[in-house]
Amino acid sequence: MRSVGTLTRADLAETINRKLGFSRAESLEMVEAILSHMCEAMAKGENVKISGFGTFVLRDKKERIGRNPKTGVEVPITPRRVMTFRASQLLKDKVAGS
């Protein structure tokens, strides 16, 4: 069922199917709806917090000067929005304990 080292949408849908008894199609639709809702929220500039799991945080970075490590030439890095993930303490404890 599970890809080695990677949890996929199909894996999540399969777990919903097995544990909650929804059909495979309903389970996949549920996973897609949740991910879509998260993406829409982040596209609007909202952070997404999943209690006990973590928070997807959006940050706007200003323009800055970077340096090409090979040539040493300075180049401007354009402003952009980046997303980071901060794991909850509960998740950190589970990962460290396994």
Degrees to nearest 5, angle at CA 49 with 51 and 89: 50
Find tokens 């404890």 and name the residue: 93
Instruction: Enumerate the H helices of the chain as residue ranges.
Output: 9-20, 24-43, 89-97
Domains observed in the chain: 1-44 (no CATH), 47-98 (4.10.520.10)
- Profile the chain (98 residues) by mean pLDDT over runs of 10 residues: 76 95 95 96 95 95 94 94 95 88
